[in-house]
Amino acid sequence: MSKLDKAKERLLSRPTDYTFSEAKYLLSQLGFNEFNKGKTSGSRVKFYRAEDQRIILLHKPHPGDEMSIGAVRDLAERLEEMGELL
């Protein structure tokens, strides 16, 4: 099983300790580029994939790196809808 497959499997399990760093790695492996939404974007981060013009918006957690369970669920559902986690 590849590192990417393991990353997908972990997200599908909807862990309560999923980190923003893990999400960032997975999205980059799926072809998304990270963009901050400008100087005043705060903790909002946009991931964009040019080949199909898909956008995923995430909230960068603070002060730690763990994402909320709702954000993990939303990310998993979004990627499943795109056919990326099958």
CATH number of the domain within which 8 lies: 3.30.920.30
Residue 37 in domain: yes
Q: Facing residues of 33 across strands?
A: 48
Looking at per-residue pLDDT, the higher value among 29 and 86 belongs to 29
Closest CA to 57 of 84, 81, 23: 23
Q: Facing residues of 79 across strands?
A: none
Residue 40 in domain: yes
Q: Whole-model pTM above 0.75?
A: yes
What Rg, from alpha-carbon coordinates, does the chain have? Answer: 12
Residue-range definition of the domain harbouring residue 40: 3-81
CA 60 and chain centroid, separation: 10
Structural domain count, the chain: 1
Looking at per-residue pLDDT, the higher value among 8 and 38 belongs to 8
What is the distance between the alpha carbons of residues 72 and 23, in angstroms, rounded to a whole number?
Answer: 9
Looking at per-residue pLDDT, the higher value among 66 and 41 belongs to 66
Contact 71, 59 (CB under 8 A): yes
Residue 41 in domain: yes
Residue 14 in domain: yes
- What is the reported pLDDT for 42? 72
